[in-house]
Amino acid sequence: MQLNSDFTKRVVVLPHQQQWQDSPMPGVSRLMLDRAGGEVARATSLVRYAPGCGYHAHRHDGGEEILVLEGVFSDEHGDYPPGTYLRNPPGSSHTPFSEKGCLLLVKLWQFSPADKAQLVLPSQHSHFVPGIAPGLTVLPLHEFDGVSTALVRFAPHTRFHPHIHPGGEEILVLEGLFCDELGQYPAMSWLRNPRYSQHQPFTGAEGALIYVKVGHLGAGLLGDQFIAPHP
């Protein structure tokens, strides 16, 4: 499968456009945002566990990144409430489940080959720090070899300066209404801006909280092997 796998193109998936599908595991559904490969794939998805459902023990040869959006996600290592950020490095294994159900952002096969660190960050107890523009605060989640991931909060009526993303940018809107000169993106919107794209983000009265990853497009990540060439 090649879904939104031409990383030279801008992609926007708004909430009303989203189509959930059953996964091979009963009680687990997913919304595919981008995907290159089969069941083993470089993939970005929203994944929903029904109460009492989960997966059998499995290994992540390409690594797994998770942000818990709703409910409590669990495995044999612990329980992870909303806001928890996890990184399971290449070669790690676990048996995930959710007793009461949960919603996750999951990214597979998007690790640098040299990134071996296991990470569990309970971001709900962490503190945002001032950003580089008034009204902007940032909670860094992870950085490795030029690829950075963070939660960014825009206060109401915040306007960021126009800027370029040499390594691309990916955004999931978690709260509020995120805007730029190209459109408006309510909560649960997903955007991917290609390398060297430019925009000027801003918010209105609602403000916004976003998950944002930069520098990962064209970065030589493990899953790039699954991407089919595009003209």
pLDDT exceeds cutoff 90 at 119: yes
130-161 pLDDT tens trace? 999 999 999 999 999 999 999 999 999 999 99
Give percent helix, percent strand, percent coil of the chain, each to the nearest 5: 5, 50, 45
pTM, to two decimals: 0.96
Which stretches within the chain are classed as H helix?
none
pLDDT exceeds cutoff 90 at 39: no
Place of tokens 């059998």: 56
Confidence bin at 21 (pLDDT 50/70/90): very high
